Amino acid sequence: MTPSTDRLERLKKQEAQLKARIQQEQARISAGAKKERDGKLISWGVAVEQLLADGTFQTDWWKLQCQRVLSGRTLERALVHE
């Protein structure tokens, strides 16, 4: 191998390592964002559940709101406590 070929191979190896590090960092950021979103959704769910339990949200009103914005399995899950 010539010095130019050696240098090119080293650079390609560095490039592959950088791509792997970038991919790992993107996965870490995505996981953090997902965890934050999941926590927020759980908190909202707890609040809605409490509002339904204490009568602040009427069941009929809740059902109409869910039907307005949800569909399919998501709607079924939202209405499971009827």
Range of the domain at 54: 3-78
Structure tokens at 8: 């090119």
Percent of the chain having pLDDT more than 70? Answer: 98
Are 65 and 36 a contacting pair, CB within 8 Å? no
- CA–CA separation, 51 vs 62, rounded Å? 10
Phi, psi at 34, each rounded to 5°: -65, -45
pLDDT at position 15 is 97
Q: Is the pLDDT of residue 82 over 70?
A: no
Domain count, the chain: 1
- CA–CA separation, 1 vs 10, rounded Å? 12
Taking only the tens place, the pLDDT of each residue in 24-79 is 999 999 999 999 999 999 999 899 889 988 999 888 998 999 999 999 999 998 88
